[in-house]
Structure 1
Amino acid sequence: MRGPLTALDIAHELKITKEGVRQQLVKFMEEGLIEVETESKGVGRPQKYFTISEIGNRKFPDTHAELTVKLLTIIKDAMGKDALQTIIDANEVTGKKRYHEEIDPLPDLNSKIARLVAIRTREGYMADYSEDEEGYLLVENHCPICAAAKACQGFCNSELQIFQSVLGESVSIHRTDHIVAGARRCAYRIALSKNMGNNEA
């Protein structure tokens, strides 16, 4: 509420001793909840200012998922399913472009899947993959867009289309587990088409 403050400022705000504040600040810094900024003001040692970090901000109520679902519902009710699909399609186009830029230069399927997993993990999906006699199994242990996906499974279908696009038509991709359907994770079986045929999620 007050923005960056010094330890003394915080002590005055909370009506406790400066030493008591310092003990709490050390604890919060170790947990990554606050950050320190230094500012020089003329002669003397730079002043330390403490501010909440991105991790700390996550401790406060966040209704982005609820808002997303509400917006999707409004779009569908007010403009129709076609308008919602147009938004999903546009999102798919930008997603494909971004993924292709990172994955296309790679020489083989294994490296492409590894890069796809890295991208998905970076986006919050906690992805991993393994290789066996059937091909590859790509697993996503978390879904950061779960609320939106439950409201409109077009997002899940779109993601599958992106995977297919960046891995190529010679590869067959089949979803075996789906968080939206109640599974613990989302999982995809990936293999050369000649081994699996044309499977669809």
Structure 2
Amino acid sequence: MKKQDTFDQHDGGQSSAATGVPVQVTAEGRTRNEVARLLLEQGPMTAVAVAEQLGISPTAVRRHLDVLLADAEAETREAPRRGPRGRGRPAKLFLLTEQGRARFGHAYDDLAVAAVRFLAEHAGDDAVRAFAESRVAALVEPYRDSVTSEAAPASRAEALATALTREGYAASTRQVGAGEQLCQHHCPVAHVAAEFPQLCEAETEAFAKLLGTHVQRLATIARGDAACTTHVPADTPGDEARSPNGGTTA
């Protein structure tokens, strides 16, 4: 049976008796991964060239390429012309973006852990702590004005969630009892923080200073929780509890 026939059969939406999961989902994902891998290994390529390599129709390939483009995993450029300029549009070449290459994994996490481990071994825990504080300061400083311009802690937490989302943390807030919970549904440094909790500790302290109130970290992705959750109380401490830099002395 040709690959084209197999693809069309899977496209029909049959289900796997063993798992109950539609085969269509598995086949679509597998074929899209093959398209992406070909772009990784041989790109930039035209849709026709991808189709020829995989033995499936150009229409099917273009459907997968459209999804990769929509997800910012691929981009296009015009193919260089050879010979006299003819009629019609120049062919499109497809290639993976950095986001698209990430689906095949990378060693960034391992490299980061190794770097911080080296820092701890050769410069000590104080150096790791200083690194953690420097990192989170660089993260939140660009948004200090937008957060501190809000008066209430709940509004500040919402502004901070917006800032964190822009930095890739997929953050949100929700009211819980007499306060707000700041939830970070993604943590780009969780792999490192699992070994070096100083990153989480420095982040919590920076949030407290930025929000102008004592906060409590309830859960972290680094410890295996579903999200990093920070409780932000509704009441703001009195001025006597404030530190000169606008944070709290707690």
> Do they fold alike, i.e. is TM over 0.5?
yes
**1:144 & 1:86 partners in 2: Cα distance?**
19
Are residues 1:146 and 2:186 paired? no
Matching residue within 78, 90, 95 for 2:122: 78
Structure 1 residues 93 and 142 mapped into 2: Cα distance closer, same or farther (>3 Å)?
A: closer
Are residues 1:2 and 2:42 paired? yes
**CA offsets per residue over residues 80-129 of structure 1, 9 Å max, x none?**
22322232232233234223143233344333211111122233333221
Aligned to 1:176: 218
Matching residue within 78, 88, 94 for 1:38: 78
Aligned to 1:114: 158
Identity, % of aligned pairs?
22
**1:4 & 1:34 partners in 2: Cα distance?**
10
Matching residue within 27, 49, 54 for 2:64: 27
Aligned to 2:12: none
Work out whether residues 217 and 231 of structure 2, in 8 Å CA contact, stay in contact via their aligned partners in 1: yes
Structure 1 residues 194 and 84 mapped into 2: Cα distance closer, same or farther (>3 Å)?
A: closer
Structure 1 residues 194 and 92 mapped into 2: Cα distance closer, same or farther (>3 Å)?
A: closer
Task: Give the C-alpha shift of residue 132 in structure 1.
Answer: 4.1
Work out whether residues 36 and 48 of structure 1, in 8 Å CA contact, stay in contact via their aligned partners in 2: yes
Q: Which runs of 4+ in 1 moved over 6 A?
A: 197-200
Query: Where do 5+ consecutive residues of structure 2 fail to align?
Result: 1-40, 242-247
Task: Give the C-alpha shift of residue 40 in structure 1.
Answer: 7.1
**1:37 & 1:78 partners in 2: Cα distance?**
47
Task: Give the C-alpha shift of residue 160 in structure 1.
Answer: 0.8
Matching residue within 172, 175, 178 for 1:128: 172
Query: Where do 5+ consecutive residues of structure 1 fail to align?
Result: none
Structure 1 residues 199 and 146 mapped into 2: Cα distance closer, same or farther (>3 Å)?
A: farther
**C-alpha RMSD of the superposition:** 2.9
Work out whether residues 99 and 166 of structure 1, in 8 Å CA contact, stay in contact via their aligned partners in 2: no
- Which one has more relative contact order, counting CA pairs under 8 Å at least 6 apart? 1
Task: Give the C-alpha shift of residue 39 in structure 1.
Answer: 5.1
Structure 1 residues 110 and 194 mapped into 2: Cα distance closer, same or farther (>3 Å)?
A: closer
Aligned length: 194
**CA offsets per residue over residues 48-78 of structure 1, 9 Å max, x none?**
1111234421221212111111111111112
Task: Give the C-alpha shift of residue 47 in structure 1.
Answer: 2.1
Looking at secondary structure, tell me which structure has more strand per residue. Answer: 1
Aligned to 2:92: 48
**2:201 & 2:115 partners in 1: Cα distance?**
19
**1:7 & 1:127 partners in 2: Cα distance?**
37
Task: Give the C-alpha shift of residue 147 in structure 1.
Answer: 0.9
Work out whether residues 138 and 190 of structure 1, in 8 Å CA contact, stay in contact via their aligned partners in 2: yes
Structure 1 residues 15 and 186 mapped into 2: Cα distance closer, same or farther (>3 Å)?
A: closer
**1:110 & 1:193 partners in 2: Cα distance?**
10
Matching residue within 137, 145, 152 for 1:93: 137
Task: Give the C-alpha shift of residue 179 in structure 1.
Answer: 3.1
**1:165 & 1:74 partners in 2: Cα distance?**
30
Work out whether residues 174 and 199 of structure 1, in 8 Å CA contact, stay in contact via their aligned partners in 2: no
Are residues 1:105 and 2:125 paired? no
